[in-house]
Each structure stands twice: as structure tokens, then as C-alpha cells.
Amino acid sequence: MNARIARIFFIILLAVSVSGCSYVLTRMGAPVVKLEDGEKSVGDFANYKFSGGIYSNVIHLERTPQCSEIAEKVRVSQKQVRGRVFSMVEIVFFGLGLVDGAKAQAVSELSRTETPLAKYETGKLVICGEKEPAANEMLIIEDKQRTFHKQVQTDANGNLDLDSVLQDENRVLNLSIRSASQMTKAVSFIYDPGK
């Protein structure tokens, strides 16, 4: 009988001493501070993304506006859940560990604070408008053999008829065509008059 009373007393003492440990340790613990990326937004206009094609010696050019992507750095301070081992012991012996773990998790979530620090450009471009015909876009047309260099403009529908531009040429040409505003972006095209 004394052994039973001693066991019951030990179990009650253990229950009282262990119950709520995870909650108390989490509440007393210092918050952990780290930097995270916050919300992303659209910044200022950067340039156009060009697309289109060449059909029967007619260039059709479209453009889509692109803007710079803005991200925000945020300092996050939050207490970490501590004493999970005690919660597991409480679950095994008393079933109170679930309540203790839930309370510790709630303390952790309620302690979270976010402080915005700075906004910066990520270097990525995001689409910030509808695709439209590249009306009145200046194009540079060059022969790969460097026999001529012409600067021409698309019409109001973003079209350019190469037959009208190259009407003086009666030979097959290996052309390089690029936008005057974005000098590095070029396409190659074999121009065959009369096709």
C-alpha cells in the first residue's frame, strides 16, 4: 500500500512539475531575430519586351511593357517553441501535452513581429501592361556583309514591309534586324525578293 501511495504521489508530483513546461520555456525564451523577404511589388517602367515574326517579307512587331520588381526586406522577431520533449512526456503520461504544446505554439505565433527595413530592386523584370503593336518603332536593318545599313520605322500596326524598304535590292540578303532602342537584341533573316 505504501508503494502504491508513493507511486501515485510520484506521478502527481511529476504531473505538477512537468505540466506546462513547454509553455513556460517558450514564454520565457528570448525571441529569435532574422531577415526575410517581404512583399514584392511593381516598380517603374524599365523597357519593352518585343515579340512577333516575319511572314512573306513583312515584319510584324509587338511589344509588352516591363517594369522593375521591388522587394522589401523585413526583420522578423519571434519566440521559438521550446520544451517539446516535456510535451511528449506529458502526452504519454497524462495527455496534457497536447494542451501544453498548443499553448506554446500560440505564444510563439503571438510573439511574431515584423519590422519593414528597406525596399530594393531585385533586378528582375515583370510584365506591367498589355501586349500592343509596336507602332512607330525604329528598326535597324543591316546586311551581314555590311553592304548597307538602314534605319526604318514600323507603321501604326507594328508592321514593316521589307519589299518596300529593300525595293532596290534584287538579290538574296542575309539580314540582321534589331530595335534601335535595344541595340543588343537582333534577329537574323534571309530576305528573298519576290517571295
Q: What is the pTM of this model?
A: 0.58
Q: Is the sign of the CA dihedral 163, 167, 172, 178 positive or negative? A: negative
pLDDT digits (tens), the chain, 195 positions: 577 777 776 666 565 555 567 777 778 888 889 988 888 888 888 888 888 888 888 888 888 999 999 999 999 998 888 877 766 666 666 666 677 777 888 888 888 988 888 888 888 989 988 999 988 888 888 887 767 788 888 888 888 888 888 787 777 777 888 888 776 666 777 777 765
**Segment holding 86, helix H or strand E:** helix 84-93
pLDDT (0 to 100) of residue 16: 54
